[in-house]
Structure formats: structure tokens, C-alpha cells
Amino acid sequence: MTRTLLVVSLALAVVMASTLPVGSQEVVADVETWRGGSVRITQPSLDVLYTIVPRRQVPGAAPTPATGGSGAAGAPTATSSASSGASMIGFGLSTAPIDVTQSRDRLSTLTFVRDGIETRVPFERIADLVVERRDVASSLPPYIRPTHAQYSAKAVLTDGSTIDATSVSFGMIILRGTGPQGAIELPLEEVKTLKIKR
């Protein structure tokens, strides 16, 4: 009985040892920022931030056909359009708080542009990303923002191919992961180099 138990336990140990390295492999990213900082994060991913602003209802507006308006297909009459026009004066100047929703979503691709052609690359195929930043004069008044940044990038993919992009728009993309002290969220526009080991 003990011999059978020994054989079974050895077989389980061999199976566990053969599957452990595959399960324990994790993606690691070495990041260097434009400010000179560097950090290593595990399980990097991309999120995009966005804001949802609900459509405001115009006070005193004539009802639409979808909400059960009266008359010929809810067509406004002369008096209703005049009253709704008067009530719309100052509508955009309201100081009432707007109920907005901040949200985020997982982003699976980065978009690179060269010669007007957009190439969307899955994030899991990127092995190395080197970003170049160039400050250009802004069309805004100098007291608002005298310059803004334009980004170009060179990406090396996991199959060894490269993409040279003359333009990359990072928008509100956040690089997320886990660092030595905990969770890290870094705006992608702050990333100078990104080396990913898979």
C-alpha cells in the first residue's frame, strides 16, 4: 500500500513540477519616463479613460413624437416654438451641476500612424517601444499653453518586425500594472521607453 502511495505522490510531483513554470511565467515591463524615473511593473495593461456627459433636457421644449407629442407627428406649433425658443435663452449658461460619469475601459491595441496610414497593433504583440517627443508651438494663447508635444515611436513586435510611426496619439491611455510598492498607473504620454518581457 505504501509503495502505491509513493508512486502516486511521485507522479503528482512530476506533473506539478512540469506545469509550474508555465503557470508562473508573467509579463514584465521595464519603463523609463521622460522625467528620468524608471520602474519595473508586472502584468502591464492599457486602460483608456473617458467621460460620459448625459444629454440635457431643454426646459419648456415641445414634446417629441417619441415622448407622445400631440398634433401632426408632434410638430411644434407657432406658440410652442416661440415659448421653447424663449426658454432656451441662457440654457447653455446654467450653473446647475451636470451629472457626469467618469469611466475606464481596457484597451487592447495601440494605433501608429505613418504617411496617413493607421496601423493598429495588439498590445500583447509589442516587445519594445521607444517614443520620441517633440515640443511644437501651440495655436493657443501663450498664457494658456505655449507649446504642446508631438510623439513619434518605434515599436518592435514579438515576431521581430518593426513599426516606425511618425505620429502616435496617446490621449487618455493609462499604463497599468503592479510595481514593488503596489498598483501603478502611468499616463502613456509620460513613457519614454517600454521594454516588455513575455
| pTM, entire model | 0.61
Q: Sheet harboring 167-168: ordered strands across?
A: 117-122, 109-114, 167-168
Q: Which residues contact 165 (CB under 8 A, 6 or more apart)?
A: 112, 113, 114, 119, 152, 153, 154, 155
Residue where the block lists cell 513619434: 152
Name the least confident of 4-8, 35-39, 113-117, 142-146. Answer: 4-8
- For residue range 83-121, list pLDDT tens digits in order: 555 455 555 555 666 677 888 899 999 999 999 999 999
